[in-house]
A and B are shown apart, each in its own frame.
Chain A
Amino acid sequence: MFERILAVAMKELRQLSRDRLSFGMIIGVPLMQMLLFGYAINFDVRGIPAAVVDEANTSHSRALVADLGATGVVRFLEPAPGVDELRRRLNAGEISVGVYIPADFERRRLQNDRAVAQLLVDGSEPIIDSVARGLAQVPLPQRRGTIAPRRSPFEIRTEYNPEGRTAVQIVPALIGVILNMTMVIFTAAAIVRERERGNLELLITTPIRPGELMAGKLLPYVFIGLLQTTLVLVVGAWIFDVPVNGGLVHLYAAAGLFIAATLTLGLLISTVTKTQFQAFQLAFFTMLPSILLSGFMFPFDGMPKFAQWLAQLLPLTHFVEMIRGIVLRGAPITDLGTQAAKLTVFLTVALVIATLRFRKRLD
Chain B
Amino acid sequence: MVTDARDHGLDAAAIEARGLTRRFGSLVAVDHVDLTIPRAAIYGFLGPNGSGKSTTIRMLCGLLEPSAGTVRVLGHEMPREAEPMRAKLGYMTQKFSLWDDLTVRENLQFMARIFGLNGAESQSRIAEISAEFELEKLLPQRAGTMSGGQRQRLALAAATLHHPELLLLDEPTSAVDPRSRRDFWESLFVLVGRGTTILVSTHYMDEAERCHRLAILDRGRLVGEGMPKELMGSIPAIVVEIDADDVASARGALQQDPAVKSVAQLGTRLHALIDPQTPDAEARIRQRLASAGVAAQVDVVRASLEDVFVAATGFRRDARPASVEI
Contact = CB atoms under 8 A, between A and B. Distances in A.
Interface in A202-246: 202-209
Contacts of B82: 360
Contacts of B301: none
A208 B110 CA distance: 12
A361 B61 contact: no
Contact of B89 (A198, A205, A208): A205
Interface string A1-20: 00000000000000000000
A208 B64 CA distance: 17
B83 A363 contact: no
The dominant DSSP class at the B interface is loop
Contact of B83 (A198, A199, A207, A361): A207
B99 interface: yes
A205 B91 contact: yes
A318 to B, nearest CB: 36
A249 interface: no
Contact of A205 (B62, B65, B96, B98): B62
Contacts of B98: 199, 202
Contacts of A209: 83
B29 to A, nearest CB: 11
Contacts of B79: 361
B283 interface: no
Contacts of A205: 61-63, 86, 89, 91
Interface in B253-307: none
B268 to A, nearest CB: 40
Contacts of A199: 97-99
Interface in B65-104: 65, 79, 82-83, 86-87, 89, 91, 93, 95-100
A361 B97 contact: no
Contact of A198 (B62, B87, B96, B114): B96
Given A198-B96, A207-B115, A207-B116, A362 B91 contact: no
Most chain B CB atoms below 10 A, which of A199, A205, A208, A360 = A205
Chain B interface size range: 20 to 34
A150 interface: no
A143 interface: no
A199 B100 CA distance: 10
B58 interface: yes
Given A198-B97, A202-B98, A362 B114 contact: no
Interface in A184-209: 197-199, 201-209
B114 A208 contact: yes
B212 to A, nearest CB: 24
The dominant DSSP class at the A interface is loop
Nearest to B111: A206
B73 to A, nearest CB: 11
Contact of B114 (A203, A360, A361, A363): A203
Interface string A287-325: 000000000000000000000000000000000000000
Chain A interface size range: 10 to 19
A95 B82 CA distance: 56
B81 to A, nearest CB: 13
Contacts of B64: 361-363
B65 A361 contact: yes
Given A205-B89, A207-B114, A361 B96 contact: no
B65 A198 contact: no
Interface in B188-235: none
Given A360-B82, A361-B63, A362-B63, A207 B87 contact: yes
A197 B97 contact: yes
B97 A201 contact: yes
Contacts of A197: 97, 100
A133 B231 CA distance: 94
A360 B99 CA distance: 19
Interface in B25-77: 58, 61-65
Contacts of A207: 83, 86-87, 114-116
Most chain B CB atoms below 10 A, which of A199, A201, A207, A363 = A207
Contacts of B100: 197
A119 to B, nearest CB: 58
A216 B65 CA distance: 26
A300 to B, nearest CB: 42
Nearest to B87: A207
B225 to A, nearest CB: 25
Contacts of A363: 64-65
A362 B94 CA distance: 15
A201 B116 contact: no
A206 B98 CA distance: 13
Interface in B84-142: 86-87, 89, 91, 93, 95-100, 111, 114-116
A176 B49 CA distance: 50
A296 B97 CA distance: 42
A202 B57 CA distance: 13
A206 B62 contact: no
A362 B62 CA distance: 9
A191 to B, nearest CB: 14
A206 B168 CA distance: 12
Contacts of B114: 203, 206-208
A196 to B, nearest CB: 11
Most chain A CB atoms below 10 A, which of B63, B98, B111 = B63
Nearest to B92: A202
A207 B111 CA distance: 11
Nearest to B95: A198
User: Which are the 4 A-B pairs with shortest beta-carbon distances?
Assistant: A198-B97, A202-B97, A205-B91, A198-B95
22 contacts: A197-B100, A198-B95, A198-B96, A199-B98, A199-B99, A201-B93, A202-B91, A202-B97, A205-B61, A205-B63, A205-B86, A205-B89, A205-B91, A206-B86, A206-B111, A207-B86, A207-B87, A207-B115, A360-B62, A361-B62, A361-B63, A363-B64
Given A199-B98, A362-B64, 17 more contacts: A197-B97, A198-B95, A199-B99, A201-B93, A202-B93, A204-B63, A205-B61, A205-B62, A206-B114, A206-B115, A207-B115, A207-B116, A209-B83, A360-B62, A361-B62, A361-B63, A361-B79
Interface of B: 58, 61-65, 79, 82-83, 86-87, 89, 91, 93, 95-100, 111, 114-116
